[in-house]
Structure 1
Amino acid sequence: MKYAVLGAGAMGLRYGVLLQEAGFDVDFVEIWQPQIDKINEQNGVFVSRDHVNKHLVPVNIYTPEEYNGDPDVWIVFTKQMQLADALKRTAHAFKNHQYVVSPMNGMGHIEKLNQYFDKTRVIGATALIGTVLNGPGDVDFIGAKGAGSMNMANETEKPDEMTHKIFDDFKKSGLNPVLTTNFLGTLMAKVIFNSVVNTLCTMFEIQMGEFIQSPVAKKLSQQLINEAFDVCERAGITLLNTREEEMKSVEYVSSVSNPLHYPSMYQDMSKGRKTEVDYINGYIYQLGLKYHYEAKTHDFLRNLVHLAEFSRDFDVDALEKSVLATEMVK
């Protein structure tokens, strides 16, 4: 089958390159112009694994406006806040027969995808796969070959023949998929995972392996997990894992699968980009409010991340000039 990846950042490149290496035809559609320019300039993307064996992989990359291909399956990997614009710009290439798989972080994307794709062709997914974009045209796959896993579920919760074909292609590509029939439970399990690891690692600028070694890591994680499970129970969402299994997942991925990984939220923060915290911790908090429950720890963390974004972007020189001008007036 033919695939097109919308959002050729770190994870989009990993999925696309692995599918391409497994023998599938893959196109990449990207909205960040420096990424497109660099990949075209060097005739491909440089790929490393755990910072070694850097090599050039040829890829086909387009802006949304340039792309006129007809893939069987779209894989959508933009940031949540970029998705509406990316879909609008690419809409001319969407066809009724196409399926879409979206392993994006956070929640809020399914409603946007439903504006362009019928629910029978939407597959929600999650990925426990660490990847870092070092810069334009330079991606680093974290973890040994075959490391990481993903879950996928049809929005209808009824896997069809095409779903099984996609599943088989992902399996052949080393993405280690698991097919479930619990759509919201599948997506929310990853949101909860990210609400712990992504947010806390970002706040304290540490790798997942460093975070999990802290003597308070389990206490903080369990508090966030418990609040999120309380929200889901009130919302009638049955999660894939129990509270205990979710904690074990945090411990295993952080200490064994991806101890050297800086989560995507940290990568965004460190590079001056807006984070997706409103679609992760913020989503859990807002969902809780609908059912008269306040996930206060999630709201507190969300606000801390926004304060960190503000302090990162704060213009110290402008403040000093303002203070100096005020003193001169006095």
Structure 2
Amino acid sequence: MKYTVIGAGAMGYRYGVLLQEVAGLDVDFIDTWQPNLDAVHRQGGVYVSRDHENRHLVPIKMFTPEEYTGSPDVWIVFVKQMQLDEVLSRCAHLFRPEQYMFTAMNGMGHIDKMRKYFSDDRLVAGTALVATVLNGPGDVDFIGAPGAGTMHMVNCTEEPDDTTLAMEQDFKTAHLNPELTRNLYGTLMAKVIFNSVVNTLCTMFSAQMGQFASYEQSDEVTRILVDEAYDACERAGIQLINTRQEEVDSVRYVSTVGNPLHYPSMYQDFSKGRPTEVDFINGYIAKLGREHGYVCHVHEFVTQQMHLAEAIRDAKARDAAKA
């Protein structure tokens, strides 16, 4: 099948490059960040490293939404939650009824935005426990050995069809390690809860995942956030794909064995002066709880702490610019 990636950031590059280089498939890229477009056009592709080594140029084809004329079988979307509405609107003229859309974005809220353009039988959602760093425009670093990381994927109908199975096989060939489930919100919320611990806390304390896990009480910290999130999900009627203990164990395993030296994507945004996706992670869990008569006090507090950190960061940047 032919794929087009919308959003050539860290994860968009990883999926697209592996599908092109490892699986040998036809892949295009669409992006709206002009420095990224300029770098790829100037270089003739994207520079790819793995664990900061073996940096090499991978030729790719990248376009703006307005320039693109291709018609893929599947769109792969990796766009920051705050930018998704605008980017989808710019791509809307390219969408066709026979196409599918796949996404494994962080946070929650994106599926409802995508439903404006694709019906549930053409939408496949997922999660990815894959560490990747965008060093800069046209320069990406895959963290972990080849084949590292895992992902889940699920039809929004919760019933996989032939195209979904073909996608699963392509992802397997690309060494993305997909696992197909039949539980949409239980699958997506498992990653939201994972990120509500690792992404947010590592960002707040400028820590690598392994540094967080090395704290002797890290499991207890994790359990506080996990338990509160599971309480909210239970009240909302969402059956998670992991038990509470499995979720705690997943945070520990990925942080100590999978990607101990990795700074999560929220930290990468925060450290570069960009807004974080905390409202779509911890904030979403807090919102879910409120909607079902349950106050997630810790997630509410963590969300506000993250916004406080953003405000202080931005104020310091303004003061430095005036100096």
Q: Same fold (TM over 0.5)?
A: yes
Q: Distance in 1 between matches of 2:59 and 2:8?
A: 13
Q: Classify the secondary structure of the residue corresponding to 2:239.
A: coil
Give the match for residue 3 of structure 2: 3
Aligned counterpart, 2:12 = 12
* Equivalent position amino acid for 2:46 in 1: V
Q: How many angstroms apart in 2 are the aligned matches of 1:135 and 1:232? A: 37
The 5 Å alignment of 1:233-252 reads 233-252=234-253
| Unmatched tracts of structure 1, length 5 or more | 322-330
Secondary structure of 2:294's partner? coil
1:219 offset after TM fit, Å? 1.2
Structure 2 stretches of 5 or more lacking a match? Answer: none
Task: Identify the residue that residue 92 of structure 1 maps to in structure 2.
Answer: 93
1:99-148 per-position Cα deviation (integer Å, ceiling 9, x unaligned): 01110000000000000011101011000000000011110000000000
Give the partner amino acid of 1:308. A
Q: What is the CA deviation profile of residues 29-69 of structure 1, one whole-angstrom value per residue up to 9, with x for unaligned ones?
A: 00111101011111110000000000000000011111111
Which amino acid in structure 2 is aligned with residue 262 of structure 1? Y
Q: CA shift at 1:316, angstroms?
A: 7.1
Identify the residue that residue 101 of structure 1 maps to in structure 2: 102
Indicate yes or no: 2:39 matched with 1:35.
no
Query: 2:308 corresponds to which letter in structure 1?
Result: L
1:226 maps to: 227
Alpha-carbon distance, 1:253 to partner: 0.5
Corresponding residue for 1:60? 61
The 1-side partners of 2:192 and 2:300 are apart by 14
Q: Which segment is superposed worse, 252-261 or 276-285?
A: 252-261
Q: Partners in 2 of 1:201 and 1:315 — Cα distance?
A: 21
Q: By how many angstroms is 1:260 displaced? A: 1.1
In 2, the alpha carbon distance for the partners of 1:284 and 1:156 equals: 23
- Alpha-carbon shift at residue 217 of structure 1 (Å): 1.1
Alpha-carbon RMSD = 1.3
Distance between the aligned counterparts of 1:130 and 1:317, measured in 2?
31
Task: Give the corresponding residue for 1:156.
Answer: 157
Aligned length: 321
Residue 278 (structure 1) aligns with: 279
Amino acid of the residue matched to residue 34 of structure 2? Q
Mapped partners of 2:63, 2:271: distance in 1: 27
Residue equivalent to 2:148: 147
Q: CA 1:278–1:135 in structure 2 vs 1: closer, same or farther (change >3 Å)? A: same
Q: Output the CA distance in 2 between the equivalents of 1:317 and 1:275.
A: 18
Work out the CA distance in 2 between the residues paired with 1:317 and 1:75. 36
Aligned in 2, Cα 1:179/1:316: closer, same or farther, shift over 3 Å? closer
Kindly report which structure 2 residues correspond to 1:285-300, keeping only aligned pairs within 5 A, or say none. Answer: 285-300=286-301
The amino acid of 1:306's aligned partner reads H
How many angstroms does 1:216 deviate by?
Answer: 2.3
Instruction: Please report how far the alpha carbon of residue 318 of structure 1 lies from its aligned counterpart in structure 2 after TM superposition.
Output: 5.3
- The CA deviation at 1:218 is 1.1
Equivalents in 2 of 1:302, 1:282: separation in Å? 6
TM-score (norm. length: structure 2): 0.98
Q: Could you give the per-residue CA deviations for residues 242-301 of structure 1, whole angstroms, max 9, x where no partner exists? A: 000000100100001111111000000000000000000000000000111011111111
Say which one has the larger Rg: 1
* Alpha carbons of structure 1 residues 227 and 98: separation in structure 2 relative to 1, 3 Å: same
Corresponding residue for residue 324 of structure 1:
none
Equivalent position of 2:136 in the other structure: 135
- In the other structure, the counterpart of 2:209 is 208
1:327 alignment counterpart: none
Moved more, 253-262 or 277-286: 253-262
Which aligned segments of 4 or more residues in structure 1 are displaced greater than 4 angstroms? 315-319
Secondary structure, counterpart of 1:314 in structure 2 = helix
Name the residue aligned to 1:181.
182
